[in-house]
Amino acid sequence: MAHGGGNSTGWRADRLLTGRQNAMTKKMSKEEKRVTELVRRRMKESRSTELLGFDVESVHAGRAIFRLDVRPNHKQIHGVVHGGILAALADTTAAIAAYTAIPKGTEIATVELSINYLEPVPGGRIKADARVLRAGRNFVVTECEIFNEDGSLAAKALLTFGATAGHALHK
């Protein structure tokens, strides 16, 4: 899955988060608020994220949190959210986290996604919390945890993005 728009956030992380901070209780800085709003506007331009119903909750240095209000069309025949929806949510959230850790103008594309489904997601509001584990010149490695509405861990993904500065993925 390709993620164009290396300029989408226009923001370079000065440092990566080394530990999980509770972003729900942490007050966002002016810059984090600005970047979060910028990402929200850019995500509205993406037909796939609009179709799937992904919403940006917050964007921080090396981290992004998205949410999804589960709808009937997200569910498979057994009444729980389809694994492909969760994988797309992890991929999208992790890509935004990756963009905060690379230089402006760098394009990324998913080169690997591994996801473990730990428990079913029956509905409600779910959250995806992605963070950058390592940002190098050519690759960005991220992880994304997806939580059920009750806070239980439903899935965990490890993603690698190829990063290319100065080259566009679009023609």
∠ CA(139), CA(98), CA(123), 5° rounding? Answer: 125
- Beta strands (DSSP E) in 54-124 are 54-60, 63-69, 106-117
Tokens in use for 103?
A: 């230089």
∠ CA(71), CA(28), CA(99), 5° rounding? Answer: 70
Amino acid at 169: L
| Cα pseudo-dihedral 128, 134, 139, 141, rounded to 10 | -30
Question: In angstroms, rounded to a whole number, what is the distance separating the alpha carbons of residues 135 and 160?
Answer: 10
pLDDT for the residue 26: 64
Question: In angstroms, rounded to a whole number, what is the distance separating the alpha carbons of residues 15 and 35?
Answer: 15
Tens-digit pLDDT profile for residues 70-111: 999 999 999 999 999 999 999 999 999 999 999 988 999 999
Helix (H) or strand (E) holding 99: helix 83-99
Q: Mean pLDDT, 10 residues at a time, over the chain (171 residues)?
A: 39 35 61 80 79 92 96 97 98 96 92 98 98 96 98 98 70 41
pLDDT for the residue 21: 41
For domain 2-9+26-165, give the fold. Answer: Thiol Ester Dehydrase; Chain A (3.10.129)
| pTM (predicted TM-score) | 0.79
Question: In angstroms, rounded to a whole number, what is the distance separating the alpha carbons of residues 157 and 128?
Answer: 10
Question: In angstroms, rounded to a whole number, what is the distance separating the alpha carbons of residues 121 and 135?
Answer: 31
Question: In angstroms, rounded to a whole number, what is the distance separating the alpha carbons of residues 126 and 24?
Answer: 14
Amino acid at 43: M
pLDDT for the residue 166: 64
Contact 67, 129 (CB under 8 A): no
